[in-house]
Structure formats: structure tokens, C-alpha cells
Amino acid sequence: MPFYHKLGNIPPKRHTQFRKPDGSLYAEQLFGTIGFDGMSTNSYHEHRPTQVKAIKKQYSVAPKIAKKNHIQSYRLKGFQVKPENDYLESRKTVLINSDCSIILAAPKQSTKDYFYKNTDADELIFVHKGTGKLRTHLGNLDFKYGDYLLVPRGVIYKMDFDTEDNRLFIVESKRPIYTPKRYRNWFGQLLEHSPFCERDLRQPQELETHNQKGDFLIKVKKQDDIFEMVYATHPFDVVGYDGYNYPYAFSIHDFEPITGRIHQPPPVHQTFETDAFVVCSFVPRLYDYHPDSIPAPYNHSNIDSDEVLYYVDGDFMSRNDIDAGHISLHPAGIPHGPHPGATERSIGKVKTNELAVMVDTFKPLMVTEEALKIADEDYFKSWLE
């Protein structure tokens, strides 16, 4: 998160004595990324956060790759992913490269018996269906339809769902996920031409502090293995923190679209960036207003990036036979564009209600066995007249 946040109680100066009412010291932890160069947070705990009692299990959750190298466009029917009770087991990686994983999940139940920590990657969780609360050791965030939840690597969390009907589109990123640099000034403030500003980014306001000892299971993901670690104190025992590294939420409905007289390129939809991929939000907007404009996109040859579109809601003007929950994968190396008839069909339209999330990766994505279970193998022929 590119701006400062403070929650709970902290001492006036960092790395100084901060005592509990009984006179003992709170345990300070610097929680940062990229060595000591990235964003960090200074947190104060009831107990030392280092008290490991046992490492009970280690098992791989690495996805099985079905197609390592390919040049085929795919459509994946995301809502065909079966709902599962457990949050972690419900997460199905469908596309992956060495920088990121694209995951679909339909969890039915809240995480009750364990906490989760991903040390491999930042997680960007897009809520397609469901409401609830993301509970973390750095505070809680309520979520609903359309929210992006950005959980930096290392944050210990649980997901509380209000109902069993939940659909999530998740991107795990080995590189930190930031807001686009071109929208920030040299102090980090979002500029006037940014499609969102700090007021749209929701910071945790509710801090859970549990001063408890016992057996607390944290499932820690590291190098695609889960380690089941038992800690001696409750992971949510922070009394206060400040800094820049904490989870936050941003609603896709708060993204203000940038429009023009002629078709605007995908970067105007950009919402997040990393060194290895971008995330864009396609939201309801007015179409291009040049008298001869063509609202449908032109064919384009993304020769060196893979394009993943996750369709959320509304009409998808440039595609035939695409529904909510579908993913289209247009791989690097070949052009793609509107389906037959879509270009003519778009002329004269003044607005769109489409809602979609796009992930463009700079390295090719591999297709997993989970993806092939929900894949339309003939999608690549759908541009034929």
C-alpha cells in the first residue's frame, strides 16, 4: 500500500520501550518486503511472534501442468469449478507461470480451524460472488461483490463468508503488486489523472487482539508446499501498528473509466502493476464519441504477452457466447480480436455495461489439468466465419 496507515496503540518512537499495563514489554516486529527496502509495517504484539511449537505436516500444493507450451486460445467456464467446503482446497490454479498463478475458487465455508499465510506471493482476491470479512493480523476488511482484496505476502489471514455461495478470482504474484507508477507522483500520491485515488482504497479499521496461549495452527505456503505449523500464541495479538505494508480493499465499482473520441487502448483500464504482469478493470462506461468511431476493439497482436480476461457481469460486446465466470486466454504469438459480427454490431452503441478483470502476463502461461476440466477446446476456432 503506497501510503501510511496507523491502527491501534503504538509508542511515540520506534524501537523504544513500549510496556503493557503490567510493566512487561510488548514484542515489536518489523514486517516488510524486499529486504529492508520495500514497504514495511512496525507492529506490537502481546507475545513474541516467533514461538513455534511444532511443524506437523508438509505437503505439495503445486498445480499439475497439462500444457507447458502451447499457442491455443482457450475459454474456461469458471463457474464449472465445483464448490468445496475448505477455503484452501477450493482454490484451483488454472493458469500459471514463474511469476504468477491464476486461481478460481468457490469456497463454501469460512476458515475456522486454521490461519493461512502465503510466503510465496502477494494475493489479489477479486470477489465475484459473496460477502464477508477478511480477518488478518493487521486488521479486518469487510468485502462484497466487486472488491479487490490485496493481501501482501506474509499477512496471516482467515476468510469469513456470510453464505456458502462464493466465487473468487485470485491472482498470486511472486512480485509485489502496486498501483501503477505512472499514476503516482514522486511522493507516492495518486495524481489527478489516476482513475482512482486514496479515498477509494479501504484500509483496515478493525483490529482483533487476542491475548491467548495454546495451540494455533497456521498453514504456511512456501515454495508451493504447505507447512502446518503450530504456534504457542494467537496470531492475531497485535495491539497496534503503523507503516505502509498492510492489506487493503478496492472496489472495481470505484474505478472511474477513461474514455475518448476513438477507441482507448487497454492501459487506460490498468488498476495494478507488477514487474511481470498488469491487472486492468473493464467497467461500465460511455463508448467512443467520434462520429465514425468503432467501439469494438481492433484486432491486436499481443506478440509477447498472454491476455487473460475474466468476465464478471454485463454484456461482452466483442465476444460471442461468453458468460459471467468465463475466462478467455489469448496467448502470446498470435493476434486476436472481435468475434465475427462484433465490429459491425458495436457501431452506434453509446455505452457498455461490461465488467471484467484482465491480467496480461509478460511470460507465457501454462495450462493446468484443472483448467482442462473446464475448458472449451474449440474456442480457438470461434473467429472462423
Closer by beta carbon to Fe ion, 237 or else 307: 307
Closer by beta carbon to Fe ion, 65 or else 334: 334
Closer by beta carbon to Fe ion, 273 or else 306: 306
Q: Which run of H or of E encompasses 371?
A: helix 369-373
Task: Compose the 48-67 pattern: x for residues touching Fe ion by CB under 5 A, - for all others.
Answer: --------------------
Distance from C-alpha of 10 to C-alpha of 14, rounded to nearest angstrom = 8
**Cα separation of the two ends of the chain:** 47
Mode of pairing for the β-strands spanning 52-60 and 225-233: antiparallel
Q: Hunting for cell 511522493 — which residue is that? A: 187
Q: Which positions from 165 through 184 interact with Fe ion, judged by CB under 5 A?
A: none
Least distance to Fe ion from the beta carbon of 358, Å?
8
- Nearest residue to the partner Fe ion, using Cβ: 307
Least distance to Fe ion from the beta carbon of 280, Å?
10
Task: Compose the 81-120 pattern: x for residues touching Fe ion by CB under 5 A, - for all others.
Answer: ----------------------------------------
Closer by beta carbon to Fe ion, 125 or else 342: 342
Closer by beta carbon to Fe ion, 214 or else 267: 267
Least distance to Fe ion from the beta carbon of 336, Å?
6
Least distance to Fe ion from the beta carbon of 334, Å?
11
Least distance to Fe ion from the beta carbon of 352, Å?
15
Least distance to Fe ion from the beta carbon of 290, Å?
21
> Is 18 in contact with 10 (CB distance < 8 Å)?
yes
The gap from C-alpha 229 to its chain's centroid, in whole angstroms, comes to 25
Residue 331 grid cell: 496467448
Residue 316 grid cell: 461482452
Distance from C-alpha of 72 to C-alpha of 380, rounded to nearest angstrom = 6
Beta pairing partners, 328: 75, 309
Count of positions on this chain that bind Fe ion (CB under 5 A): 1
Question: What is the SS3 assignment for 372?
Answer: helix
Distance from C-alpha of 305 to C-alpha of 380, rounded to nearest angstrom = 17
Question: What is the SS3 assignment for 241?
Answer: strand
Q: Which positions from 288 through 327 interact with Fe ion, judged by CB under 5 A?
A: 307
Closer by beta carbon to Fe ion, 7 or else 317: 317
**Interacting residues with Fe ion (CB under 5 A):** 307
